[in-house]
Structure 1
Amino acid sequence: MSERRAIFGRRRDDDGPRASVRELLPYLFPKKGLLVGAIVLSVVGAAFALAQPAMAQELIARVEQARPLEWLPWLLLVVVIVGALLDGLQHFLLQVLGEHVVLRTRRTLVARMLRLPISEFDQRRVGDLVSRVGSDTTLLRAVLTQGLVESVGGVLTLVGAVIAMLIIDPLLLGLTVLVLAVAIGAMLAVMPMLTRASGAAQEQVGHLTSALERAISAVRTVRAAGATDREVAAIGERAEGAFGAGVRVARISALVVPIFGVAMQLAFLVVLGVGGLRVATGEIAISQLVGFLLFLFLMVMPLAQLAGAVAAVSVALGALGRIQEIVRLPSEDEADAGAAVSPVPGAPMVAFEDVSFAYPGDDEQRTVLDGVSFSVPAGTRTALVGPSGAGKSTTFALIERFYDATGGRVLVGGTDVRDAERASLRSLIGYVEQDAPVLAGSLRDNLRLGAPTASDEQLLEALESVNLGGLASRSAQGLRAEVGEGGVLLSGGERQRLAIARALLAATPILLLDESTANLDARNEAALKVALDVASEGRTTLVIAHRLATVVDADQIIVLDGGRVLATGTHDELLTSSPLYRELAAHQLLAPAE
């Protein structure tokens, strides 16, 4: 985090990330037409609102003076009704504008999240990121729906009311302003506290979402371990933390209501008392006092709107700080100034030259790869073997450029991947990860992830090639059959083969298979091996395997241990030259025991 502070020059204190009003403004104007319409309605509504006390004062004066009322009562009624209709239309426009604010913010945030460097996901909780897209963006809507735009008309109403009150009686206006100024000063002193408390509350909601996401994603493991009650208690603690933070926000925001209420009551009592005395002494007429009180009441709504707008902005700035924390992070695209990858004829398709690597964010900076060098000729099959933690999967992560090597060079098609455009690089590579992730959705959705234009016939052929032909016919929905969250409706082996079929459909010149047969039985493993033999023709294939039987016919096998290359050769060569490989093979009955 200290490194990130140095990069962005932003401060994150104990109350969470902060944002400025200047950063908030671009989010509020996604639809300028709606915004202008709402402001115009607010201004017109202010004019109608100001007309009502003036007309009421004139009505009372005519009654006092026994003059005919004529059309004045009906005109007042029309003004009241039209003003109410304008308020309703303005409310609708503001609600729609608020939804646009949320939509634009969510699109911006999701686009940024899905383009962040992989190292950011290593350091962040998924639930907290989801919370920022969900609840934090919703709070921005309150800036509009709770009075920011309405306050434009409110200011005009306030100014008009003050001018009218000044004309009626400057003394009463001075007393009113004095009382309200004290209240406004007190409210402004509370607002920074509200911003900090709101940011802390959103942080707690993010922690709660993260804890819940963690438990739900592993609900079977939790049930099997008898840990349901403990998880419920742990999530309950997070919920209590969010509750406590929310109560702190409520406690602070609750100060605004009594301050404002007491101020208005005091202003009303002062005007009523002093005004009554001035009526008794003949300094003003009773119609003027009534008119002044009506304008005073008219001030209540714009003042409440302004207070609500200030409170909404304070809360929104806390939420926006969490949103901006993600938006400010550099995406892979922004850091990607490389050129398109065009494999050089005759160059190794993949090569490591004295590569060293330590995962970013690791305080101990433990070296995962140390001086790794090897090359993979185009169109060949290479296997990476070795004990767990040897650095095999890390080599794949560097080929995909999920991370950049901290030393040495990784080359694909003769191009240093750090000089390559990531999208171009990854378009050359099909990658099946160790845990073979399957996305919630249908079979078709999963298969088309890397080949969006593939026809249903091609999808079915890919399933047949990995011995999953019966999967589409198992349900009447065929390729539209759902696989469940994380592929829960499939077996482990089916998930793995589906991921392989997905990679095969992409028809990339490089294929990376990380433990691709780990969850397969002997029959499916044999069938898949035949399919991979066919799929590997004309491709460069790198396979990580613990089961050496699947890679004994590889063109070369690289033995890794402790982040170093111990030996390279064929199966027969390594049985002679590599003690570690011979030991691994002996444990799997592929070599005579020593």
Structure 2
Amino acid sequence: MTKTATKKKTFSITAPEKRGLVLGLIGRIVRENGHLFVRQYALAIGCLVAAAGCTAFLAWIMRDVIDKIFVQQNRAAIYSLPAIVFVTFAIRGLANYGQAVVLARIGNNIVARYQRRLFSHITELSVDFFAENRSAHLAARINQNVSGIRDTLNLTVTSLARDALTLVFLVFVMIYQDPVLSGIALLAGPPIVLMIGKLAKKLRAATRQAIDINARVLASMQEAAQGITVVKAFTMEVPLRERIERLILKAEERSNKIAGITERTSPVTEMLAGLAIAGVIGYSGYRAVVYGYSPGSMFAFITALLLAYDPARRLAKLQVQLERALVNASMIYEILDMEPRQADAPNARELEAEHGEIVFRNVSFGYYPGESVLRDLSFVAPAGRTTALIGASGGGKSTIIALLQRFYDVQEGAITIDGEDIRGVTKRSLRSRIAYVPQAPYLFEGTIRENIRLGRPDATDAEIEDAARQAQAEEFILAAPQGYDTPVGENGMTLSGGQRQRLSIARALVRNAPILLLDEATSALDTRSETLVQAALDAAMKDRTVIVVAHRLSTITNADQILVVDGGQIVERGTHGDLVDRVDGHYARFYGLQSGGNRRPADLAAARG
């Protein structure tokens, strides 16, 4: 599968375009989260119902306020009715406070749970997922989308329990007071509903595009911050600034378009609502003047109508707001629904790897269809011995390391450890038996001690310090301001390349695994550090199965076997002494180039062993 094809598969789910998909997505969100917050939602809904009831009651009581106080001039009502109004407002205020706090806590918990769930799921996805998706863009996109689940639930609850109920209660009051006027007022509803439906369709595509563009803006800023030394070294400030400004301009234009679509409901809603209210006031006033209708009933009706305007307006915008939330939610589920391509087999076993013998048997693999990186490759890495891989760049050495850790699955052939096919064991048990030192060392946020301990979380401080000594890192660690508790900065920016590599080696050593993989582990070290670390690695390699990828042949002369990889195949194998004696061989040529450029056959033969 090509990267392009894979990416299409990864993000093939589009924003819901049919009502069934919308309801299905809402149903999934409710099923996943509703049962976790039954009591909290019951409390919030109770508060919302109380607030809706109080709002309707305020409209209802206006008839008595007008008739009993202003028309009948009832002295008792002067004291009782204001007190009732005050108590009603107090209850509504407390109810609104209660529902706001409860829904905020639920929403915060949902965001936190989905952040944990997303991180857990992403770490289980295959390496090729991260090769196809830029990390900064992915992080920015997740940061924007994760609130979609919360907003969908909150909008649904508040709209149904508060706005819909308030509107229903007020409409009931209006119909009770005057059915004819109620019919006039409700004529504004159908045109608003039709208009909202058309706007929602336009909003879906615009919202998704805005999310992608904003993610690119945040990702570009993050990448510029991470690569600031390169930016300044190559005076890239101006072109990067221009590129980000173009992205920001696109994001601004897209946001303006969304604002225009979203707020397009306001003038139409206001005009239709204003027309309905004006008609009601004019007609009710005419009836009061000409036919002597009770002013209390008319005032109660108009109060109910005015109070109904706000929930009706919010409900009118609900579909637009819900569309935006659902687009965000659907993009979160796109990630959560991805299946790891290197998933554990249904009956996967735990790998023991007591000895650690590694066998590649007729392995073929390619990252793209029709392009093979490894072709029918076979070799045995004996247990407790060191196997070195050398060859030109692009020959397949690092791919061998990646396949052994099952970052990818072989397309043909098999890889076994102590006779166990690695596809039949759990990935966690496989990788727990391997210590890995990559070519580019990577340090995580935290202290020096915490970074070394990541190799084995249960390692003691004494074991961490012993691993640091073996990696020849203790000297600079103790010279740091806080020793082992010194923060390393973003990706170890406060340390040199050699120091970062030695911490990476210490992290591998503290893992104490039977298999050790070294991918150009000494490439970032100066001559002195390389000599010290090589001595430490020689000690660490004892009684372990080691596969080391190297370009500096001086670091592998003592390997038990050396495999020359070229074009995805093993073209030579043997010890340093055997291979250097083959004056026309690949290894001899590599050795000659690194030993002075023009070594004579006699010189190469003299370099044996």
TM over 0.5: yes
Cα distance, 1:81 vs structure 2? 1.9
Q: Structure 1 residues 334, 384: closer, same or farther in 2, change over 3 A?
A: closer
* Structure 2 counterpart of 1:46, from 42, 52, 73: 52
Partner of 1:339: 349
Within 2, Cα distance between the matches of 1:504 and 1:7?
A: 37
CA displacement at 1:537 relative to structure 2:
1.1
1:593 to 594, 597, 600: 600
2:245 maps to 1:236 = yes
Structure 1 residues 292, 333: closer, same or farther in 2, change over 3 A? farther
CA–CA distance in 1 between the matches of 2:493 and 2:243? 25
Render the CA deviation track for 1:213-264: whole Å, top value 9, x for unaligned: 2222211111101111111111111112211211111110011222222222
In 2, Cα distance between equivalents of 1:498 and 1:162: 71
Equivalent of 1:536 in 541, 552, 557: 541
Residue 120 of structure 1: which of 122, 129, 134 is its match?
Answer: 129
Residue equivalent to 2:607:
none
Q: Does 1:478 align with 2:488?
A: no
Counterpart-to-counterpart distance in 1, 2:522 and 2:245 = 40
Say which of 255, 262, 272 aligns to 2:271.
262
SS in 2 for 1:370: strand
Partner of 2:428: 423
Which of 354, 360, 383 is the aligned partner of 2:362? 354
Contact 1:147–1:308 (Cα < 8 Å) also in 2: no
- Secondary structure of the 2:373 match is strand
Q: Does 1:366 align with 2:371?
A: yes
**What is aligned with 1:278?**
287
Does the Cα contact within 8 Å between 1:151 and 1:309 map onto a contact in 2?
Answer: no
Structure 2 equivalent of residue 549 of structure 1: 554
CA distance in 1, matches of 2:321, 2:10: 30
Distance in 2 (CA, whole Å) between partners of 1:312 and 1:488 is 43
* 1:252 aligned partner: 261
Deviations 1:67-105 (A, max 9, x none): 341512211121112212221222122222221221122
Aligned length: 586
Structure 1 residue corresponding to 2:456, chosen from 451, 454, 457: 451
How big is the shift at 1:7? Answer: 9.0
Q: Name the residue aligned to 1:61.
A: 67
Task: Give the superposition deviation at 1:139.
Answer: 4.2
Q: CA deviation at 1:283?
A: 6.4
More deviation, 305-314/53-62: 305-314
Kept in 2, the 8 Å contact 1:27–1:105? The answer is no
Please give the per-residue CA displacement for 1:108-135, whole angstroms capped at 9, x wherever unaligned. 2111111111111110011221123312
- Secondary structure (helix, strand or coil) at the match of 2:339 reads coil
Q: What is the deviation of 1:574?
A: 1.0
CA contact (8 A) 2:10 2:338 kept: no
Displacement of 1:426 in angstroms is 0.4
Given candidates 479, 485, 488, the residue that maps to 2:493 is: 488
**2:210 aligned to which of 173, 196, 201:** 201
Match of 2:604 in 1: none
Q: Could you tell me how far 1:564 is from its partner in structure 2?
A: 1.1
* Residue in 1 that maps onto 2:605: none
Name the amino acid aligned to 2:388.
A
Q: Deviations over 1:358-413 (max 9, x none)?
A: 11xx3x64211111110011000010001111110100000000000111111122
Structure 1 residue 444: deviation in Å? 1.1
Answer yes or no: is the 8 Å Cα contact 1:392–1:544 preserved in 2: yes
Deviations 1:118-177 (A, max 9, x none): 111110011221123312113444345557425412222211111121121111111111
Q: Give the distance between the partners of 2:293 and 2:141, measured in 1 at CA.
A: 58
CA spacing shift, 1:307–1:480, aligned 2, 3 Å:
farther
User: 2:606 is matched with which residue?
Assistant: none
- After superposition, the C-alpha distances for 1:276-314 in whole angstroms (9 at most, x for unaligned) are 122223263211111111110121222133234333211
Q: Distance in 1 between matches of 2:9 and 2:431?
A: 31
> What is the distance in 2 between the residues matched to 1:172 and 1:26?
42
Post-superposition offset of 1:576 = 2.9
Within 5 Å, which residues of 2 pair with 1:25-44? 25-26=30-31, 29=34, 30-44=36-50
Where structure 2 has 5 or more consecutive residues not aligned to the other structure, the ranges are 602-609
- In structure 2, the partner of 1:575 is 580
1:334 and 1:26 map into 2 onto residues whose CA distance is 26
CA distance in 2, matches of 1:5, 1:438: 32
Q: Any stretches of 5+ residues in structure 1 without a counterpart?
A: none
- 1:550 shift after superposition: 0.7
Residue pair 2:455, 2:510 contacting (<8 A) in 1 also: yes
Residue identity matched to 1:256: T
User: In the alignment, which residue of structure 1 is the partner of 2:27?
Assistant: 22
Residues 395, 308 of structure 1: alpha-carbon distance in 2 compared, 3 angstrom cutoff: same
Change beyond 3 A, Cα 1:8–1:125 = closer
> 1:8 & 1:103 partners in 2: Cα distance?
24
**Contact 1:39–1:150 (Cα < 8 Å) also in 2:** no
Q: Distance in 2 between matches of 1:574 and 1:116?
A: 41
1:343–1:414 contact (8 Å) kept in structure 2: no
* Alpha-carbon offset, residue 181 of structure 1: 2.2
Q: What letter corresponds to residue 207 of structure 2 in structure 1? A: S
Q: Could you tell me whether the CA contact under 8 Å between 2:363 and 2:413 is conserved in 1?
A: yes
Q: Check 1:252–1:24 CA distance in 2 against 1; reply closer, same or farther (3 A cut).
A: farther
Contact 1:115 1:332 in 2 (8 A): no
Name the counterpart of 2:107. 98
Distance in 1 (alpha carbons) for counterparts of 2:198 and 2:279: 25
Query: Does the C-alpha gap of structure 1 residues 196 and 11 become closer, same or farther in structure 2, counting only changes over 3 Å?
Result: closer
The secondary structure found in structure 2 opposite 1:284 is coil
CA drift at 1:344: 7.1
Q: Which piece of structure 1 moves more, 464-473 or 221-230?
A: 464-473
TM-score by length of 2: 0.91
Query: Retained in 2: the 8 A contact 1:146–1:305?
Result: no
TM-score by length of 1: 0.94
Change (3 A) 1:9 1:214: closer
- Alignment deviations for residues 504-536 of structure 1 (CA, whole Å, 9 cap, x no partner): 100000000000111122222222122112111
Hey, what's the Cα distance between the residues in 2 that align with 1:333 and 1:100? 31
2:146 alignment partner, SS class: helix
- The CA distance in 2 between the partners of 1:366 and 1:11, in whole Å, is 31
* Root mean square deviation of aligned Cα: 2.3
Deviation at 1:563, TM superposition (A): 1.1
* Partner Cα distance (1:336, 1:132) in 2: 31
What residue number does 2:471 align with?
A: 466
The change in CA–CA distance for 1:479 and 1:336 in structure 2 (over 3 A counts) is farther
Q: Deviations over 1:545-588 (max 9, x none)?
A: 10111101100000001111101100111123461100000011
145-154 vs 418-427, which deviates more?
145-154
8 A contact 1:358–1:368 mirrored in 2? yes
Residues 1:440 and 2:448 aligned together: no
Residue 52 of structure 1 and its aligned partner are, at CA, apart by 0.9
